[in-house]
Amino acid sequence: MARSTLDRSGLRRRDETWLAEAWSRGLVLVVDPRGGRALAEDRPDGGVGLVLLPAADAPEAERRFLGVDTDGTALWSVSAPLPEIEGTRAVTLRDVGHLLDARDAGLLTTAVALSNWHASHGFSPRTGLATTAVEAGWVRRDADGNDMWPRTDPAMIVLVHDGVAGPDGRCLLGHNATWPVGPDGVTRFSCLAGYVEPGESAEAAVLREVGEEVGIPLTGLTYAGSQSWPFPGSLMLGFHATADPAEPIRLDPEEIDEAHWFTREDIAKMIAGDYVHPDSGVRMSLPMRSSIAFYLIETWLGGFTR
């Protein structure tokens, strides 16, 4: 979901004349505010494409200008119940993020993030006054003229590994204490993650979170990339880090209730969907393919960490 071809055209957000004309010729993505779902349809190539409606057919709701497509078409979103359209289905980013092309991935990520922000900022935290959307949905303003902009919270996510190349290399994954076991009995394991605290760098947050969650000191740290994560409004800053598997794992049970070192062969089996932990007998899986967590794991699996 770090992919996008959208020109956000931020300078247009205050141009009411241009926005009115752009709406009339634009296409609209409808996002259900009760879960971030949108309509999509399957493509012949095995991918999935979002369903965009002509403005005249879109539900009546606050208009949010997302940007301009590569062909000059203005793209918008509204938060409203999804219409019923034959041949389509309701999807979320978690369902199909990895199947969308770059335009649709960026479009849905932005639209869901905006929808979540608007839903939680109907009143100003400074004055308590009701707010309204202005500047094409990118600002909320109260009656005293105080403005708020969409918030993005920085968070870190890290794949800890032993730095060993080849099949003998291992990485450390954990199971969050709040994650339920899947309906098929599969337990999901992922990278360690947490929010960056005020006054803290992203690198310092990595060291702190790993120390708090599994009690293991890190011996190396490299930045790998970032991804918008609109659940509800985060920017995930991804890292690879090295550590010694001989160090004892000391879990914070309120955060991580289980953590293990896995070999590259184990990870390959998880991706294939046929890994069973030899001690517990529990089937284990990885995060969804559209997540930066999966990217970090897959990059390590291929031996491309620094």
What local confidence, expressed as pLDDT, does residue 55 receive? 97
**Largest distance between two CA atoms of the chain:** 66
Ramachandran angles phi, psi of 266, nearest 5°: -60, -45
Nearest-CA neighbor of 3 among 101, 89, 82? 101
What local confidence, expressed as pLDDT, does residue 5 receive? 84
Omega of the bond leading into 183 within 30 degrees of 0 (cis) = no
Within 13 A of 208's CA, how many CA atoms are on the CB side?
12
CA distances from 176 to 95, 96, 276 (A): 20, 23, 18
Nearest-CA neighbor of 270 among 259, 260, 284? 284
What local confidence, expressed as pLDDT, does residue 1 receive? 58
CA distances from 229 to 49, 110, 153, 192, 292 (A): 20, 9, 9, 15, 9
DSSP run (H or E) holding 258 = strand 256-263
Say if strands 153-161 and 234-242 run parallel, antiparallel, or are unpaired: parallel
Within 13 A of 250's CA, how many CA atoms are on the CB side?
8
Give, for all 306 residues of the chain, the pLDDT tens digit: 567 888 999 999 999 999 999 999 999 999 998 889 999 999 998 889 999 999 999 999 999 999 999 999 999 999 999 999 999 999 999 889 989 999 999 999 999 999 999 999 999 999 999 999 999 999 999 999 999 999 899 999 999 999 999 999 999 999 999 998 877 789 999 999 999 999 999 999 999 999 999 999 999 999 999 999 998 899 999 999 999 999 999 999 999 999 999 999 999 999 999 899 988 888 999 998 889 999 999 999 998 665
DSSP structure class, residue 178? T
- What's the token pair of residue 282? 């529990």
In terms of pTM, does the model score above 0.85? Answer: yes
Say if strands 27-32 and 74-79 run parallel, antiparallel, or are unpaired: parallel
What local confidence, expressed as pLDDT, does residue 2 receive? 64
